[in-house]
Copies of this chain bind each other. A is one copy, B any other.
């Protein structure tokens, strides 16, 4: 297996992008990544695209070839990969495998979702849960995560304010990210007093509906310095599946797939949680940010709430989490999120993150979840 590096990364503006089509959006991300890598389109020899549901959001399947065609990249092989909101993480991992195997020498892994072209995205999003046992019974994602939050509060004494604090920090970070969907700061009071979505979660505990795309360029580590003085090396690409329906779970306050994927990743990379200098974690709801820092081993199970409250995950804390603003404030275009996380970590490790730079970051992690944890993908990158 060859070692693999990332030599370019990009993200489009995230938000309600009424003036951009699905195909233009992802091609924009691709072109930016190509430019960032200092290559040309003809250098690419394969593409992976993470996308959860273009079928339901824009009435289009077969999107990888559509994109290759629209971008003038035919005849390169290209595949859409999907695991709900972890689709981007899958695109990254499969792009890494394609290079590691020697099948391909220069791969673009992209992610895209165009969620605002339909009136109500909720039924489409709900297809990430178990349709027969959850969605058809009327359970939506906010309510699934609300149950996880309630149980976490009951088991570990996590407070409503601690949940809110995760959103507050995300918005603070996003205020320094010009590509974020929401660049305004918010307060704990604002979170608590925003509209109730699914008790105890309010609107400001929930990631938004977002259009966006992102891309990274992957090549063999031994070739990376031909293209950039600052390649970012892939130390681990790990993935795990878990129960898709919440009721089948031994414990709804732990996402086993996060635990399994991160432990595999640490083993592959030969590092531990204490070695991670910066992380982008999957906070689709505030509670999931807290579960993430526990399940990734940054804090003990049950200690996520106090850790957030005490500033451990802030930019000047022990382990800065979501400098981009996270899913909550950077935005969460489902299939793009895993790649946007990687793009952020690449920028951080290259020292190119501007006002939100984590000083001296050398090892970074991305953590991307599908559904309520049916899938988890964890990558560890280093400079």
State the CA gap A102–B60 with chains docked (Å): 34
Number of interface residues of A (CB under 8 A): 65
Residue from the list B68, B238, B242 in contact with A69, Cβ < 8 A: B242
A84: B residues at CB distance < 8 A? 61-62, 65
A100: B residues at CB distance < 8 A? 101-103
- List the B residue with the shortest CB-CB distance to A131: B60
Cβ of A299 within 8 Å of any chain B Cβ, yes or no, is no
Least Cβ–Cβ distance between A218 and chain B, in angstroms: 13
A51-59, A201-209, A270-278: which lies at the B interface? A51-59
Q: Report yes or no: A82 in contact with B101, Cβ–Cβ below 8 A.
A: no
Q: C-beta contact mask, A28-69 vs B, less than 8 Å → 1, else 0?
A: 000000000000000000000000110110111111111011
State the CA gap A27–B80 with chains docked (Å): 22
State the CA gap A58–B56 with chains docked (Å): 12
A1: B residues at CB distance < 8 A? 101-103
Least Cβ–Cβ distance between A179 and chain B, in angstroms: 26
State the CA gap A14–B61 with chains docked (Å): 23
Q: Report yes or no: A241 in contact with B64, Cβ–Cβ below 8 A.
A: yes
Q: Report yes or no: A55 in contact with B242, Cβ–Cβ below 8 A.
A: no
A73: B residues at CB distance < 8 A? 241
State the CA gap A1–B79 with chains docked (Å): 20
A160-168, A187-195, A220-228, A367-375: which lies at the B interface? A367-375
A58: B residues at CB distance < 8 A? 131
| A residues whose Cβ falls under 8 Å from a Cβ of B | 1, 21, 52-53, 55-56, 58-66, 68-69, 73-84, 90, 93-94, 97-98, 100-103, 123-124, 127-132, 135, 237-245, 248, 256-257, 260-261, 370-371, 374-375
**Interface CB pairs A-B, < 8 A, 10:** A53-B55, A61-B128, A62-B84, A65-B374, A65-B375, A69-B241, A74-B257, A75-B256, A76-B240, A97-B101
